[in-house]
Structure 1
Amino acid sequence: MSEKHVTDRRNFLGTLTKAGIMGSIGLTPLAAAAKAVTDTEAAIEPAAYAFACPPYLQNPEPTAVTIMWMSNRPSYAWVEHGETETLGKTAHHSEGGIVDSYNTLHRVRLENLQPDTTYYYCVKSKEIADFQPYKLTYGETISSQMFSFKTPARKPQEVSWLVLNDIHDRPQSIPHLVGLNKDPYDFVFFNGDIFDYQTDEKQIIDHLLQPAGQAFASVKPFIFTRGNHETRGKFRRELGNYFDGPYYFTKTWGPVHFTVIDTGEDKTDDHPVYAGIVDFDKYREQQAEWFQKVVQTPEFKKAPFRVVMMHIPHYYSGDWHGPMECRRLFAPLFEKHKIDLFLAGHTHRYGVHQPVAGQHAYPIVIGGGPKDGNRTLIKVKAMNKDLNLVMLKDDGTEVGKVDLRSKR
């Protein structure tokens, strides 16, 4: 007998048992059963209309930023914003003449902002109680508290960021690790394996969007790339919908040119656990070809610091297929085009590996995790001539350091 049939049978027998009790006090079995069902329905009241997570900032630019959030029922949503707490401007997202509505995941891009300027905002969602072809019925409107953020300068002289990796579905680690930082920073980078695997939307809310929003993400943006664990599970394809940007990309912020690479899985594509539905070898090769174009850009060539961030390190992570493919594809390119710093995770063994002749001419920094005592926060600050990195263990002690002087 299937688990569902067992559960249904137990529920049915439970209802009949209640009906028998009610019959002994004067109700017929059918009336008693009906009453039991009615009582059960009355006890399960729908949750109040509310936000499913705080707003979180994505894809910051000197003149734009994306604000995302979620509500627990289909809604029409918008952002009120301005340079003072009086706000005064309203923005929503539309495409092809249709305004986003009747959805629970909301994404609004604020554009035409001023660089290096503080903005205030709140997000609002109005429930759509009924959506007929020629009649739409609104319900309640909810509003967030007021938050603020600052746009990057057009040509900033410095940039600071925090790196978290290998949280593995331990949401309490996010506020704890970010809380170790006492210095100004511009954004947080999640360098993979924030989850064990992708199950459903609730997991994304409870284990990332809620704790990140409560800790920092409503006022500071975060950037996300996948680890090998984010490629697993039935909800893996949908994960990207919750961020404003791809998994691999480049970005220039102040003196740093960032290259973010999505390293895929650590096993061979034909491993039985993947059941023939992955193609990461080709995906990594595509990114290697893409990187050869990146290094020809003026942004890469002129940057005082060239930083690569990706989940699986190409050294110090064993001889599994994924790390070895990363070494084959990317190590020669990183050497040839003289990157300055490499940041990774994956191994759960934190460490700072200084340059080694004949292997890598740049420091390789690997964050730890996910267990208490092995979790890390990586802090990086770069100015036009100097880059300083400090790695903290989860008790606040320093466990690694890198100081670089620009070669360009």
Structure 2
Amino acid sequence: MIKAVHNASRRTFLRSLSIFGGLFIAKHSAAALEGDRQHAESFSVVAGPYLQTNFGNEMCIQWITNADAHSWVMYGSDPEDLHLKATGNPELGLLPLGQIHRVTLRNLVPGKTYYYRVVSKEVLDFQPYKLSYGDTLSSDVYQFVNQDVAKSKVSFIVLNDLHEKSGAIERMLALDAGKTRDFVFFNGDMFDYQVDEPQLLAGLLQPISKAFASNVPLHYVRGNHETRGVFARSIAKYFKHIGYTAFTLGPARFIVLDTGEDKVDSHPVYGEVVDFDGYREEQAQWFAQEMQQPEFTKAAFRVVLMHIPPFYSEDEHGSVHCATLFNPLFNTAQVDLVLSGHTHVHKIHAPNPEIHRYPIIIGGGPQDGERTLLRVDISQEQLDVEVLNDSGKKISEYRIDRH
């Protein structure tokens, strides 16, 4: 709370998007108008706070206000004594002002629980020699654990391809209520396409902030649908990472790849303004270096998360390009598991020595009865995946023993 002192096949499903696209745009335009009305009424936090991290004793805290503000975080190891203060990163000596607030807490102690509140002071008028402030908003006190990267076990869940179905994200997260997780991973296509900020807030940032993200960090990689629409060029501002990255937690090294679009770059719908081939090639070069790093080679398990799987995703250009670029590297690097989405059909593909020497697990979605939640638990000796459908029934499981 913030106080002052929002059963179809994949191919059939995608066709339906073009039929009802006008309705979606109208819906989001109405949401934008409502956001403007709220802005005119009072200064408020419209989403967050939500946590993101690559671990390594740092935690990024973000939140969104409906007007420009100067913001900071008060934090400490005692909820009654939040005596430490952190602000956004200055650029050329200037602290950030705006509506999207990002503050990173650094030099945290491994394994320690931290408490924090976010504070935003509205900027009413900014003259050359006078800055006038309005209301100051101060949140409740939240908490998170700064996970020790040397911990012996890691546990997380994966959601994918929800395509902003009404209430789906809340229902899927509720299936894991009461469980302790180190992070929550969104493996792409949480949306149909990117329209505006109200869509992003209502479709993701607001529900996850209420459900878990103020206390447990999220990771989010784009699917092909997050690359579409005018607002696709703006969503990176709302996340510490939305593209490719790597991090270590416990016995696992995690590789996150941003697989981009599934169509050729020259497709007319892209209007000659994309270069996903080049972007995927950049990631392949990066991964070739990553697989040589001690954090990768010494890990008990090496897990890749990528929206478009390297195989079993028809013959669209993006799928074929992923297989061509990444599969030889995965085989050479002895990747233990690839977690994907995109096909809208859950399937576990065991290793195939002639093609891919690693298992590929694909999450389902987005229709009722087809959505999945993947629970992943990794220790020094084994990796376990349990797959639930959207009614909470376990529909499959898979175990990998350490080589």
- The answer to whether the Cα contact below 8 Å between 2:156 and 2:182 also exists between their aligned partners in 1 is yes
Q: Which amino acid aligns with 2:255?
A: T
Separation of aligned partners in 2, 1:295 and 1:58: 24
Cα distance in 1 between the residues matched to 2:223 and 2:39: 39
Cα separation, 2, equivalents of 1:347 and 1:300? 28
Aligned to 2:43: 49
Distance 2:259 2:103 in 1: 29
Rounded Cα–Cα distance in structure 1 between residues aligned with 2:156 and 2:310? 23
The answer to whether the 8 Å contact 1:60/1:66 transfers is: no
Quote the offset at 1:245 in angstroms: 2.5
What is the alpha-carbon distance in structure 1 between the residues aligned to residue 275 and residue 283 of structure 2?
13
Q: Quote the residue 1:125 is aligned against.
A: 120
Partner of 1:310: 306
- Cα pair distance change 1:306/1:262, threshold 3 Å: same
The letter for the 2-side match of 1:74 is D
The one of 327, 351, 354 equivalent to 1:355 is 351
Q: Using the alignment, how far apart are the partners of 1:196 and 1:80 within structure 2?
A: 37
Residue 53 of structure 2: which of 59, 70, 75 is its match? 59
Q: Which residue number corresponds to residue 131 of structure 2?
A: 136
Is structure 2 residue 267 aligned with structure 1 residue 257?
Answer: no
Determine the structure 2 residue equivalent to 1:100.
96
Query: Where does residue 172 of structure 1 map in the other structure?
Result: 167
Distance in 1 of aligned mates of 2:332 and 2:39: 63
2:200 is equivalent to residue 209 of structure 1 = no
> What's the CA shift for 1:44?
9.5
Instruction: Tell me the CA shift for residue 246 of structure 1.
Output: 5.0
2:281 partner SS? helix
Residues 172-222 of structure 1: CA deviation (Å, up to 9, x unaligned)? 222211211143110011111111111111111111100110110000000
Q: Deviations over 1:48-106 (max 9, x none)?
A: 211111200011424220100011111111111111111122211241221122x0100
Q: Is the 8 A contact 1:227 1:346 kept in 2?
A: yes
Q: Residues 321-400 of structure 1: matches in 2 within 5 Å?
A: 321-400=317-396
**Deviation for aligned residue 1:356:** 2.1
CA deviation vs aligned residue, 1:140-180 (integer Å, no higher than 9, x gap): 11111111000011411111111111111225222211211
Greater relative contact order: 1 or 2 (C-alpha under 8 angstroms, separation 6 or more)?
2
1:3-14 paired onto structure 2 within 5 Å? none
In structure 1, the residue matched to 2:289 is 293
Output the CA distance in 2 between the equivalents of 1:295 and 1:183. Answer: 32
Q: TM-score, normalised by structure 1?
A: 0.87
Q: Is the 8 A contact 2:47 2:63 kept in 1?
A: yes
- Which residues of structure 2 form unaligned runs of 5+? 1-36
Partner SS for 1:266: coil
Of the three residues 188, 194, 198, the one matched with 1:192 is 188
> Aligned pairs, how many?
364
Shift of 1:307: 0.6
1:60, 1:151 within 8 Å by CA — same for their partners in 2?
A: no
Aligned-CA RMSD value? 1.5
Quick one: which amino acid aligns to residue 384 of structure 1?
Answer: Q
Identity %: 46
**8 Å Cα contact 1:94-1:100 kept in structure 2:** yes
Q: Post-superposition shift, 1:255? A: 0.6
User: Deviation per CA, 1:261-289, whole angstroms, max 9, x where unpaired?
Assistant: 11111011111111111111111111111
Instruction: Provide the secondary structure at the position in 2 that maps to 1:291.
Output: helix
Q: AA paired with 1:192? A: G
Segments of 5+ residues of structure 1 without an aligned counterpart are 1-42
Map of 1:27 onto structure 2: none
Instruction: Kindly provide the amino acid, as one letter, of the partner of residue 105 in structure 1.
Output: I
Q: Paired residue for 2:152?
A: 157
